[in-house]
Amino acid sequence: MANYIFKTPTVSEGPIGGHRLFYFRNMNVGVSVYKSSGTYKLIRYVQDSFRNEVDEFYDGGHQHIVDDATRTAMIAANIGITSANFTAQ
């Protein structure tokens, strides 16, 4: 069974600051992925206690090691995760 490096999806947010020059800049922010009751979902803002309440949690903006079954399930969940989010290890 193959393992993959999973990089969570990102969204572009802006402006990144209060100064007028920051209004021209955007920043990519990682979106967290979690599995609860057999369903994968995306979440932007997470409280620490939420991580313990779900079956699986993948912190946004980080890389995680997943197996082939998890990769297939995430892509099949149709939540914006594609094969481009995975790199063979």
CA distance 34 to 6: 13
DSSP 83: G
* Distance from chain centroid for Cα 79: 10
Q: Rounded to two decimals, what is the model's pTM?
A: 0.86
- Phi, psi for residue 20 in degrees, rounded to 5: -60, -30
Q: Is 32 exposed, middle or buried (0-12, 13-18, 19+ CB in 10 A)?
A: buried
Which tens digit of pLDDT belongs to each residue from 3-18? Answer: 999 999 999 998 888 8
Q: Which tens digits make up the pLDDT trace of 53-78?
A: 999 999 999 999 999 999 999 999 99
